[in-house]
Amino acid sequence: MKKYWLLMALVLFLIPSFCFAQTNAVISFVVTVDNSKPVNDYLNSSTKIVYNLDEEILFSSHWTDTYEGLDTYKFETNMTGSFENDTSASFTDGWANVTKIFTNPDYEGESVYYRFHAIDVNNNANVSNYGTVYLESRNPEYYAVSQNTSTPIAGEQVNISSKWTDNFNVYKTVLETNCTGAWTEYEIQYYNTINAWSEHYLNTTDCTNVFVLWRITGYDNATNTNTTSEYSFTII
């Protein structure tokens, strides 16, 4: 009987602990908010100096992104005279590549600025620093200067020709002559082309001098100039 009561006392002591024991479990969730901007680690162009209007240039930029990845990019430049963005394009393994041909001859002798805009898949955006490309400034060049006669008859027209070229554009040529006694601009022709064939016509009826000197000055869009040697003819 004594053993029975000892057993019952032990059971009554253990039951509350067993029945009301609790296990507290904590479930944790880690939520990461992606507000990291894309990072630009490379910016370059295939050339730093553009020598010709029709020269093709490759602009490249490389980007990395911390979380979900890169989405699209835009290329921005002021090569047309004001800053403009291209339409969006997709990255290729973090690379943004754009090929351009400069078509604005008025920018000869100027620096053109460019940069890339990047957006990741969570719409975080960033922009690279500016890069620059310089458009080489050169004077127009001439060759094949000629006149159709060196002894025109009074009243006869003298045909004066020359060929001109410029790395961007030959804008105009001006025939200058002293046929009235002082040097004046006799005739102007306009081109707006890289290579120009200049044909000027001088009417000897406009001349008071018998011995006439002439020369041609060429201009490009950046107002660079070049002038031929002086040539002459004698009116008979």
Look at the chain and report how many structural domains it folds into.
Answer: 2
User: For residue 109, what are its two tokens?
Assistant: 């002798």
Same domain, 48 and 125: yes
Q: What is the CA radius of gyration of the chain?
A: 40
Q: What is the mean pLDDT of residues 190-217?
A: 96
Query: Which residue(s) pair with 187 in the sheet?
Result: 175
Same domain, 203 and 156: yes
Indicate which CATH number applies to the domain containing 189. 2.60.40.770
Q: Using the structure block, give the residue that is written with the tokens 């943004």.
A: 96
Alpha helices, H only, 70-149: none
Same domain, 149 and 208: yes
Q: How far is Cα 58 from Cα 45, in angstroms, rounded to an integer?
A: 6
Q: How far is Cα 137 from Cα 193, in angstroms, rounded to an integer?
A: 16
- pLDDT above 70: percentage of residues in the chain: 86
- pLDDT above 90: percentage of residues in the chain: 75
Show Cβ contacts of residue 191 under 8 Å, excluding neighbours closer than 6 positions: 164, 169, 170, 171, 172, 173
Q: Which domain holds residue 51?
A: 39-135
Final residue of a structural domain among 105, 135, 165: 135
Same domain, 145 and 128: no
For 83-95, the pLDDT digits (tens) are 999 999 999 999 9
Q: What is the mean pLDDT of residues 179-191?
A: 96
What pLDDT is attached to residue 35?
A: 85
What pLDDT is attached to residue 21?
A: 45
Q: How far is Cα 206 from Cα 178, in angstroms, rounded to an integer?
A: 11
3 state DSSP class of 3: helix
Same domain, 172 and 217: yes
What pLDDT is attached to residue 18?
A: 41
User: For residue 210, what are its two tokens?
Assistant: 């018998």
Same domain, 229 and 151: yes
Mean pLDDT of the chain: 88
What pLDDT is attached to residue 81?
A: 75
| pLDDT surpasses 90 at 179 | yes
What pLDDT is attached to residue 104?
A: 81
What pLDDT is attached to residue 28?
A: 55
Distance of CA 126 to the CA centre of its chain: 20
For 2-43, the pLDDT digits (tens) are 444 444 544 444 444 444 444 555 665 555 667 899 999 999
Indicate which CATH number applies to the domain containing 62. 2.60.40.10
Q: Using the structure block, give the residue that is written with the tokens 């067993």.
A: 18
Final residue of a structural domain among 135, 161, 180: 135
Residue 34 dihedral angles phi and psi, to the nearest 5°: -85, 100
In a domain, 23, yes or no: no
Same domain, 99 and 122: yes
Same domain, 129 and 193: no
Q: What is the mean pLDDT of residues 174-195?
A: 96
Show Cβ contacts of residue 181 under 8 Å, excluding neighbours closer than 6 positions: 208, 209
Same domain, 206 and 223: yes
In a domain, 226, yes or no: yes
Same domain, 171 and 102: no
Show Cβ contacts of residue 94 under 8 Å, excluding neighbours closer than 6 positions: 62, 63, 64, 70
| pLDDT surpasses 50 at 78 | yes
Final residue of a structural domain among 135, 169, 186: 135
| pLDDT surpasses 90 at 117 | yes
Which letter does DSSP use for residue 2 in this model? H
Are the C-beta atoms of residues 76 and 116 closer than 8 Å to each other?
yes
pLDDT tier, 79 (very low <50, low <70, confident <90, very high otherwise):
confident
